[in-house]
Amino acid sequence: MHIFAIANQKGGVAKTTTAVNLAAALTASGRRTLLVDLDPQGNATMGCGIDKRSLQSSVYQVLLRMASLEDARVMSPSGKFDVLPANRELAGAEVELVDLELRETRLKAALAKHHADYDFVLIDCPPSLSMLTLNGLCAAHGVIIPMQCEYYALEGLSDLVNTIKKVHANLNRDLKIIGLLRVMYDPRNTLSTQVSAQLEQHFGDKVFKTLVPRNVRLAEAPSYGVPGVLFDKAAKGSQAYLAFAVEMIDRVHSWKESV
Ligand code: ADP
Ligand code: MG
């Protein structure tokens, strides 16, 4: 089981779009996948066609040990992968976890019991470096960082990288940055191509080869509760996420060989 957190403390950088589409693309290629929604906004939950307002239980109850993962997970009717869903209730966990023991490793512990159930677990983190994101980073083997190629993108990156380093040093020795995914890319925009080239220069093969273009079909899909890669498979954005899934599967294979 490979566990990846999709994190960036900035909002609107396609974390959720990446999580939902990668989950659907991995599932379409036969990988057993669980998507964990760690954002109280519940966008990943809704984007998978699950109504966040009518959940029996959610990731919130799992973190507070009031429900098990078996009880709380729901299958995405459109994507056919399991989702550990979230809604506004999860915002309370931030405060309620503070006084509890092993507060950072609650998600990790919940996932550990399901080691044999999944090939991939994807964790859609909220736009903050909070206790929820910390739970995501503690549970993960690696971090996928979606980034827009704009001037300010690099500024926020150092805070995230420092947080990942701290988690690695203190809480999760397994954690590493898998890669930076360039999203909402516009090749006609000179700044976009410049920042993209800079990223390649600084981060080398930590930058995924796949470039996800700006594509309105990806933005339309969530309102139908269907992952973009299934909503319109031929769209450029969908093709990019399908290619990204192949790239992720290849990376995972090459680790196994190097061990
Ligand atoms: P985050 O989870 O980081 O806050 P989202 O995945 O919700 O970001 O994306 C923010 C907005 O941008 C959403 O409205 C989403 O539909 C849209 N979006 C994401 N990726 C693309 C893309 N490649 N092309 C066009 N719109 C996109
Ligand atoms: Mg999101």
- What pLDDT tens digit does each residue of the chain (259 aa) get? 999 999 999 999 999 999 999 999 999 999 999 999 999 999 999 999 999 999 999 999 999 999 999 999 999 999 999 999 999 999 999 899 988 888 999 999 999 999 999 999 999 999 998 999 999 999 999 999 999 998 887 888 888 999 999 999 999 999 999 999 999 999 899 999 999 999 999 899 999 999 999 999 999 999 999 999 999 999 999 999 999 999 999 998 887 665 4
Q: Separation of 17 CA from ligand 2 center, angstroms?
A: 7
- Tell how far the Cα of 126 is from the centroid of ligand 2, in angstroms: 6
What pLDDT does 99 receive?
A: 87
pLDDT at 72: 98
> What confidence score (pLDDT) does residue 153 get?
78
Residue 128: give the domain boundaries.
2-258
Residue with token string 């080239």: 197
- Does any ligand 1 atom lie closer than 6 A to the CB of residue 14? yes
Give the environment of ion ligand 2: residues with CB less than 5 A: 15-16, 43
| Cα–Cα dist 89/53, whole Å | 10
pTM attached to this predicted model:
0.97
E-only strand ranges, 24-66: 33-37
Q: Give the whole-angstrom CA distance, residue 183 versus residue 189.
A: 13
Find the CATH number of the domain harbouring 194. 3.40.50.300
Q: H or E segment at 256?
A: helix 236-258
Q: Is the CB of 212 under 6 A from ligand 1?
A: yes
Q: Is the CB of 127 under 6 A from ligand 1?
A: yes
245 phi, psi to nearest 5 deg: -60, -40
As a whole number of angstroms, the distance between CA 136 and CA 41 comes to 16
pLDDT at 233: 98
Tokens 């397994």 belong to 174
Q: In total, how many domains does the chain have?
A: 1
Atom of ligand 1 nearest to the CA of 39: 2
- The ligand minimizing its distance to the Cα of 181 is 1
